[in-house]
A and B are shown apart, each in its own frame.
Chain A
């Protein structure tokens, strides 16, 4: 076989293999996670993260699971409430935050959040309902305030800038009301 044919063959093989790229996500077993006592008699009864998380849609950060996708595609069916009297409120409303200095504007989707959280989890303690009334800033977020209460602790971490800063300034014709 000529040299060119051989290289072409390898290229094809490489491309074919990459289509079946292995799932490279790794989770630590409880016995070696640095938190659980390896000598604990409970370990055989406790589930390791990999067993539950591997089948779920992948993500590159946090638990390495795309929880929003996981819920919407029906891979999990978490309960919305324990008590019958609880009002389950889901709101589909985007908030565009424009005080983002050089970064693209932030799009906050109520829908993805209210599928999981109750209105009272954020309002009015963390965020005022009135647009523009909460002095959100990135430094405070990094300190665990505002969005940082959850993002970086339970939901995707703050290394994922573009997931929030997703609205290019050039795409916005008119500044939303309530923002200076």
Chain B
């Protein structure tokens, strides 16, 4: 006898997605969505979190467009050589309006703590 399980599909973002919206929306651009899964396929954690100086805590990094263009933070790779250049605004600034800066974790729980 088959038992049908009806699972509610809530709109959860992919595990590890980071929203960066400290300044973006205030300055008139869409929030940035950073997908960990796409990047960890290509780079080990130590590259961004040791070499590039990204703090492992959502909200702890002061990332500005000026620094990115100078080759810091995201700009170390997003410079047209390793990855797309910064004139492709929408590829990073792809978030819905009103998003809170945070990391989205916990696949099956709503995630306690400060994530």
Q: Do chains A and B stick together as partners?
A: yes
Q: Which residues on A sit within 8 Å (CB–CB) of B108? A: 61, 157, 159
Contacts of A79 in B (CB 8 A): 42-44, 47
When C-beta atoms are compared, the residue in chain A nearest to B37 turns out to be A63
Measured CB to CB, the closest approach of chain B to A13, in angstroms, equals 14
Secondary structure at chain A's binding surface: helix, strand, loop or mixed? loop
Indicate if the CB atoms of A86 and B51 lie closer than 8 Å: yes
Q: Which of A97-105, A111-119, A168-176 forms contacts with chain B?
A: A111-119
**Nearest chain-A residue to B114 (Cβ)?**
A144
Q: Is the CB of A153 within 8 A of B16?
A: yes
Q: Out of B36, B38, B50, B105, name the residue touching A121 (CB < 8 Å).
A: B50
A residues near B90, Cβ cutoff 8 Å: 40-42
CA distance A80 to B42 in the complex (A): 9
Segment 92-115 of B: residues with Cβ below 8 Å from A:
94-97, 99, 103-109, 111-115
Q: Is the CB of B50 within 8 A of A40?
A: no
Give the contact stretch, choosing among A4-12, A15-23, A43-51, A129-137: A43-51
List 20 other contacts, CB 8 Å, given A35-B99, A37-B97, A63-B37.
A28-B13, A30-B94, A34-B13, A36-B95, A40-B30, A42-B91, A46-B91, A49-B14, A62-B15, A64-B107, A78-B42, A78-B44, A88-B46, A116-B45, A117-B49, A121-B56, A143-B114, A153-B115, A154-B16, A159-B106
B residues whose Cβ falls under 8 Å from a Cβ of A: 11-17, 19, 30, 33, 35-38, 40-47, 49-52, 56-58, 76-77, 88, 90-91, 94-97, 99, 103-109, 111-115
A-B contact pairs, 28 of them (CB 8 A): A28-B12, A33-B14, A34-B11, A34-B12, A35-B17, A35-B19, A43-B94, A45-B91, A49-B37, A52-B41, A53-B37, A61-B108, A78-B40, A81-B51, A82-B51, A82-B76, A83-B51, A116-B40, A116-B45, A117-B44, A121-B50, A143-B112, A143-B114, A144-B115, A152-B105, A157-B108, A158-B106, A159-B108
